[in-house]
């Protein structure tokens, strides 16, 4: 393990390093006395930062910020001669694991605290790794189970004689397929709490546009946007409904074909999905309930993520935009 000891007093640095090394053998301890040595120390990831509060060229809070910018998972201990509660509270809020006041038992406590902080960090990493393994396995099994459900629905579709019933099952199958595609993105993601939504949307748009009853030219303008899982799932189902509606109901002239634009972009602190087609648009009297769109489902999904839905006649065609907070 690697430890950075930052102090502008060389004697204090040596005493602190000896105290830590005595408690935890076989450490790689790096001294930091000035900005240049700090930058050099950050060339490799540290496990622990031990820093004085008041240095001539900076303070412990600034050092912690610099270290965490480069290596976010580094633990930290502040050592200071100012033993007041306000500073202690400020240090803990800033992210220090512990706070040691200089004094008679300073060195003994420093060594013990460093060992406890590092051991706690190892335990947390082990728990995190185990959690990630469990989540990966759960996502994998759920993806497989969804594929089985999709296969069963497809087999049931073939047994139905009524075209409307078959279409309802096909729509249900497509919604589950969208969920399955999102699960695959979760499985690929290094952080199971977030998903790269742009990659999912691009695959979804390509797959659905290929199902159009006439040739449709897809224009995809999709930015890479990471979303939390609890936003990505409703947003993904919502995107599926909007694109499916355009594919199934917007186009009718096979000779002319059609064009559909799917755009995902950041607009300030929001993520905006826009699906636009050059099809026949809304029929008269159906502005509040576009045919085949499943508007009720779209609005319910948007409410789950505090999203806004805007539907426009563009003459020709329709533009649907949905915005959610990032």
Distance CA 78, CA 73 (A): 16
CA 320 to chain CA centroid, nearest Å: 25
- By C-alpha distance, which of 276, 261, 271 is closest to 313? 276
d(CA 56, CA 6): 12
Would you say 71 and 27 are in contact if contact means Cβ atoms under 8 Å apart? no
CA neighbor of 181 nearest in space, from 253, 227, 223, 232? 232
| Beta-bridge partner residues of 277 | 260, 318
Looking at residue 187, what is its pLDDT?
65
Tell me which of 88-92, 103-107, 109-113, 273-277 is least confident: 103-107
Confidence bin at 57 (pLDDT 50/70/90)? very high
Per-domain boundaries in the chain? 2-126, 194-326
Question: Closest Cα partner for 244 from 278, 217, 210?
Answer: 210
Whole-structure pTM value: 0.55
Task: Tell me: pLDDT of 254 over 70.
Answer: no
Q: What is the pLDDT at residue 255?
A: 53
pLDDT at 89 (0 to 100): 87
Instruction: Give the tens place of pLDDT for each residue, 103-139.
Output: 778 888 999 999 999 988 888 877 766 666 766 777 6
Q: Give the pLDDT of residue 67.
A: 97
Higher pLDDT, 28 or 84: 28
Average pLDDT over residues 204-210: 88
Q: Is the pLDDT of residue 285 over 50?
A: no
Q: Report whether CATH 3.40.50.2300 matches the domain 2-126.
A: yes
Mean pLDDT across the stretch 287-297?
54
Rounded to an integer, what distance in angstroms lies between the CA atom of residue 274 and that of residue 259? 14
Helices 229-249 and 197-209: angle between axes, nearest 10 degrees: 20
More confident residue, 212 or 21: 21
DSSP state of 42: T
The C-alpha atoms of residue 160 and residue 26 are separated, in whole angstroms, by 71
pLDDT bracket for residue 324 (50, 70, 90):
very high
Which distant-in-sequence residues (6+ apart) come within 8 Å of 243 by Cβ? 204, 205, 208, 209, 260, 262, 275
What is the average pLDDT across 243-257? 75
What pLDDT is attached to residue 288? 41
CATH of 194-326, one of 3.40.50.1100, 3.40.50.300, 3.30.565.10, 3.60.20.10: 3.30.565.10
Give the DSSP letter of residue 105: T
Rounded mean pLDDT of the chain? 85
8 A C-beta contact, residue 311 and residue 318: yes
Which pLDDT does position 253 carry in this prediction? 64
């Amino acid at each position: 393990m690697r430890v950075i000891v930052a102090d502008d007093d060389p004697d204090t640095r040596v005493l602190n390093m000896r105290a830590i090394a005595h408690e935890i053998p076989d450490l790689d301890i790096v001294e930091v006395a000035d900005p240049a040595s700090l930058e050099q120390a950050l060339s490799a990831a540290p496990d622990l930062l031990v820093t004085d509060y008041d240095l001539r060229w900076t303070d412990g809070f600034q050092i912690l910020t610099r270290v965490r910018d480069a290596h976010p998972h580094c633990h930290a201990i502040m050592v200071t001669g100012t033993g007041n509660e306000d500073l202690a509270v400020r240090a803990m809020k800033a992210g220090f694991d512990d706070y040691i006041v200089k004094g008679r038992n300073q060195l003994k406590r420093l060594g013990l605290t460093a060992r406890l902080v590092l051991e706690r960090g190892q335990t947390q990493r082990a728990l995190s790794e185990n959690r990630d393994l469990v989540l990966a396995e759960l996502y994998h099994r759920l993806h497989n189970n969804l594929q089985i459900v999709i296969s069963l629905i497809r087999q049931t579709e073939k047994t139905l004689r009524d075209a409307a019933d078959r279409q309802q099952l096909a729509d249900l199958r497509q919604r589950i397929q969208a969920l399955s595609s999102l699960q695959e993105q979760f499985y690929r993601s290094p952080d199971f709490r977030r998903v790269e939504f742009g990659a999912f949307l691009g695959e979804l748009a390509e797959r659905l546009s290929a199902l159009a009853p006439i040739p449709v030219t897809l224009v995809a303008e999709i930015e890479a946007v990471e979303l939390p899982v609890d936003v990505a799932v409703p947003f993904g189902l919502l995107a599926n409904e909007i694109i499916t509606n355009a594919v199934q109901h917007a186009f009718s002239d096979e000779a002319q074909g059609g064009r559909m634009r799917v755009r995902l972009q950041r607009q300030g602190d929001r993520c905006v999905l826009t699906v636009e087609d050059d099809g026949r648009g809304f029929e008269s009297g159906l502005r509040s309930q576009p045919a085949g769109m499943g508007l009720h489902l779209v609005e319910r999904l948007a409410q789950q993520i505090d999203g806004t839905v805007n539907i426009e006649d563009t003459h020709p065609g329709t533009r649907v935009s949905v915005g959610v907070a990032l």
